[in-house]
A and B are shown apart, each in its own frame.
Chain A
Amino acid sequence: MTIRDALGFRDALVVRDLCKAFGKPAVDRLSLTVRGGEIYALLGKNGAGKTTTLRMIVGLLKPDAGEIRVFGVDALVDPRGAKQIMAWVPDEPMLYDRLSPLEYLEFVAGLWGIEPKTARDGAETLLKWLDLWEQRHERCEGFSRGMKQKTALAGALIHDPRLLILDEPLTGLDAAAARQVKDVLTARARAGATVIITTHILEVAERIADRIGIIQRGQLLAEGDLAELRLRAGEGKGTLEDVFLELTSDGAAPAK
């Protein structure tokens, strides 16, 4: 038993030797650990395998090999048990254009089997928090990208997930909407939830992430907080961008 275990910390996500190939390997023996209550940023170039990894974690893709544990639940043996405590927000919001935000949350709450009263109260809180309450009866078809993303985020939060996974949640958002989404994520982490995000906006990762994982060609290249990554990259006071570019330059070796 480690000291962290003894203190009651529990890893939110443990991935071991995860593999997935689409003709050629997309994810290649990837292992990573995300601690409970932290914000973890998964970075990588386009096509590095980030989205494939996340889709396997949330149960949308079946891995060729490997192990995924979400708060101790084996996601490959008990996918429903794992899904019950997770939420997934892809880069394109999963919405129904002809449903209103309130109707959307009603349906999502049903999917996760939330008690009607809890769901109704939660929906009201979330929509007010995300400045969507005035639009709760309007259909999503006329929403801006930011409003759609916030509606999808409300859907992901309605069942109060312990692990929240977001793929490029800030793409295409204006400054105000991006700020709101970032505030939501940090608030959830402060409340004890674990957040995993992928992003190409490295400043965001630098500012909000507790730890960062960098993957390349489906393998974990480096993992740690910014100081650890700087050390590994030999970039004394460099920004995350400097560290990322250094580590992902050709010739960098995968993390042990």
Chain B
Amino acid sequence: MIFPAQTLPWLLTHELRLTWRRLLNKRGPAWRAPVLIGLFLLAALAIGGPLGFALRGIGLSVTSTTIFAGDAAMAVFLLWMLSQSLAAAIEAFFTRGDLDLLFSSPVDPGKVMVVRCLAIATTVFTGFAIFVSPVMIPLALMGHAGWLALYPILAATALTATAMGLILASILLRLLGPRRARATAQIMAVALGGIFFIAGQLPNMVGFSKLKAWVIAQPPEPRNAGHLAMTVLAWPIRAFSGDVGSLGAMLMMGAFAFSAATLFIGRRFATDSAAAAGVASTPTKKRDAASSSFAGGIVVLTIRKELRLLGRDVTLIATVLFRLVYLVPLALILVRNADQHVAKLVPIGVGTVTFMVGQTVLTLAMIMIAGEDSPDLLGSSPAAAQTLRRAKMAAAILPVAMVMAAPLMILMVLEPLPGVAAVGGCGAIAIANTLIAARLQKPAPRAAFRRRGGGASLTAAMVSLLISGLIAAATGMAAAASIFALLPLILAVGGLAVINEIKPASGD
């Protein structure tokens, strides 16, 4: 390496080399890379292109509206990034990897920590940079090159979010202890990720009229756009529209926050990390509330085992919660629309909720069916593989069924036809997605599913999107009493018949 050993750049180069090699080793099907590039280009053509064309020649002026919009966008980015950095920061304390080697060497633990934190910030930034690129690159090519300032803005935000995530993770560790801190951080990360979706749905849930009345009821605030433009609040929009001073200030603020955070937790990093590592090696004294009964057949015992394993794995709970954060508000909106007899919206709501039920069940089914930690135990037992698979499918459906039972029953009472369609659609989509998980998801250790989206097979996910889309469309149409519901239904059934013929990929 070109840098002197034990220095910060030397460690950073080592970390980047490892990251690069991990990426290179992450093999997938041969078609994955072309498909992802194709999707990127498609998004650029479908969204970025038309947007760039529409905004040609339009400048961005700093007004109270654009300042507010810029701040709102920044808040969204910051919260989303914080949700990721918090989860990554807490894992940085728990994941040993090469920490034992590094901490047992004479390298300053503070440097190790800074490098780990930089890796978190880089990961958070890269994800968002890729996310906005299909829009930003066409915009830049069509006359708004200055708007590429969004990238350094994102970098500054990533540094700030990483700083916040690190401090929050460290405080949680000290206040709650390693085990509870990890659980709390993971659930907080999900809540932060979903908060803007829920906020965005507030008008739908509360009702536009009520929200409008509430906003109007607030006393008018004297606004002085000129004064506002000179404040910190205007930095995001000013930076975006090319003001180097604001951009520099944001970058400096991000760098300062990051440095302060690393200084704040730097000295404690090795201690906190060692404390977190101790959790896994110390036997727990906690007693289980439910005593083992040894009763029930293999189906009941398998369902019980799966629900126990899920309920005790906070990371997996967070993964499932991440889905439910989107599903539950949608279900509430659906019930509200049915209650107010908004006839046109109910079928759309039924279709959307059905789709989300399918995706939630898919997540659970992938974890429970493919994420089996003891495939050899099941394989060497005389229990029929099909029975075990069906029990696991039932276990995957059960939690979602419990969450959805009440809204669907209310819907059936308020709007019988859409209610029946929704119950049928949700049942069908749940079964379809467990089948997809059983047939197409490759086995992986359960730990692989602990990362959000981790372990999931791209093929299973894509097929699920297609089949779920068809079933959701059929359900929505059925809710609207349309005979055309049969068309997507037949296509979905045909697709599932083909999938059913595939030999299960899971090793159970």
Chain A contacts to B: CB under 8 angstroms: 58-60, 80-81, 83-84, 86-88, 90, 94-100, 102-103, 105-113, 116-117, 119-120, 123, 135, 137-139, 141-143, 155
Q: Closest CB-CB distance, A105 to chain B, in whole Å?
A: 8
Task: Contact check, B308 vs A103: say whether CB atoms are below 8 A apart.
Answer: yes
Q: For the complex, what is the distance from the CA of A83 to the CA of B385, rounded to whole Å?
A: 13
Chain A residues with CB below 8 A from B302, complex form: 107, 110
Q: For the complex, what is the distance from the CA of A81 to the CA of B285, rounded to whole Å?
A: 39
Quick one: which of B287, B313, B377 contacts A111, CB cutoff 8 A? B377
Q: A96-B309, A103-B288, A108-B381 are known contacts; what are 16 more A-B pairs with Cβ within 8 Å?
A: A58-B379, A80-B384, A83-B381, A94-B373, A99-B308, A100-B288, A107-B301, A107-B302, A107-B304, A110-B298, A112-B383, A119-B294, A120-B292, A137-B288, A138-B285, A142-B284
Using A106-B293, A111-B382 as known contacts, say yes or no to A94 and B285 having CB atoms under 8 A apart. Answer: no
Counting CB contacts under 8 A, is B98 at the interface?
no
Counting CB contacts under 8 A, is B295 at the interface?
yes
Task: Contact check, B380 vs A59: say whether CB atoms are below 8 A apart.
Answer: yes
Using A103-B308, A113-B382 as known contacts, say yes or no to A108 and B377 having CB atoms under 8 A apart. Answer: yes
Counting CB contacts under 8 A, is B219 at the interface?
no
Counting CB contacts under 8 A, is B378 at the interface?
yes
Chain B residues with CB below 8 A from A110, complex form: 294, 296-298, 300-302, 383
Counting CB contacts under 8 A, is B305 at the interface?
yes
Task: Contact check, B281 vs A142: say whether CB atoms are below 8 A apart.
Answer: yes
Chain B residues with CB below 8 A from A90, complex form: 376
Number of A-B residue pairs, CB cutoff 8 Å, is 107
Task: Contact check, B377 vs A109: say whether CB atoms are below 8 A apart.
Answer: no
Task: Contact check, B380 vs A107: say whether CB atoms are below 8 A apart.
Answer: no
Chain A residues with CB below 8 A from B295, complex form: 116
Chain B residues with CB below 8 A from A94, complex form: 373-374, 376-377
Chain A residues with CB below 8 A from B292, complex form: 100, 102-103, 105-106, 120, 123
Counting CB contacts under 8 A, is B263 at the interface?
no
Task: Contact check, B309 vs A135: say whether CB atoms are below 8 A apart.
Answer: no
Chain B residues with CB below 8 A from A135, complex form: 283
For chain B residues 264-296, which have a beta carbon within 8 Å of chain A?
280-288, 291-296
Per CB-CB distance, the 3 closest pairs between chain A and chain B, nearest first, are: A110-B301, A142-B283, A111-B381
For this complex, 19 residue pairs linking A to B, each with C-beta atoms less than 8 Å apart, are A59-B380, A60-B376, A60-B379, A86-B380, A94-B374, A98-B313, A106-B293, A106-B301, A107-B302, A108-B381, A110-B294, A110-B300, A113-B383, A116-B294, A120-B294, A138-B284, A139-B286, A141-B284, A142-B284
Q: For the complex, what is the distance from the CA of A84 to the CA of B381, rounded to whole Å?
A: 7
Using A60-B376, A139-B312 as known contacts, say yes or no to A99 and B305 having CB atoms under 8 A apart. Answer: yes
For chain B residues 203-231, which have a beta carbon within 8 Å of chain A?
none
Q: For the complex, what is the distance from the CA of A117 to the CA of B305, rounded to whole Å?
A: 19
For the complex, count residues of B whose C-beta is within 8 A of A: 37
Task: Contact check, B294 vs A142: say whether CB atoms are below 8 A apart.
Answer: no
Q: For the complex, what is the distance from the CA of A88 to the CA of B378, rounded to whole Å?
A: 11
Q: For the complex, what is the distance from the CA of A167 to the CA of B50, rounded to whole Å?
A: 63
Chain A residues with CB below 8 A from B382, complex form: 80-81, 83-84, 111-113
Closest to B298 in A: A110
Task: Contact check, B376 vs A107: say whether CB atoms are below 8 A apart.
Answer: no
Task: Contact check, B288 vs A88: say whether CB atoms are below 8 A apart.
Answer: no
Closest to A83 in B: B382
Q: For the complex, what is the distance from the CA of A81 to the CA of B373, rounded to whole Å?
A: 24
Task: Contact check, A107 vs B305: say whether CB atoms are below 8 A apart.
Answer: yes
Q: For the complex, what is the distance from the CA of A116 to the CA of B301, rounded to whole Å?
A: 11
Q: Closest CB-CB distance, B319 to chain A, in whole Å?
A: 15
Task: Contact check, A113 vs B298: say whether CB atoms are below 8 A apart.
Answer: yes
Q: Closest CB-CB distance, A194 to chain B, in whole Å?
A: 16
Using A60-B379, A141-B280 as known contacts, say yes or no to A106 and B294 having CB atoms under 8 A apart. Answer: yes
Using A107-B302, A138-B284 as known contacts, say yes or no to A99 and B377 having CB atoms under 8 A apart. Answer: no
Q: Closest CB-CB distance, A130 to chain B, in whole Å?
A: 15
Closest to A95 in B: B374
Q: For the complex, what is the distance from the CA of A135 to the CA of B283, rounded to whole Å?
A: 9
Chain B residues with CB below 8 A from A58, complex form: 379-380
Q: Closest CB-CB distance, B203 to chain A, in whole Å?
A: 41
Using A98-B313, A139-B312 as known contacts, say yes or no to A109 and B374 having CB atoms under 8 A apart. Answer: no
Quick one: which of A84, A88, A95 contacts B373, CB cutoff 8 A? A95
Task: Contact check, A96 vs B376: say whether CB atoms are below 8 A apart.
Answer: no
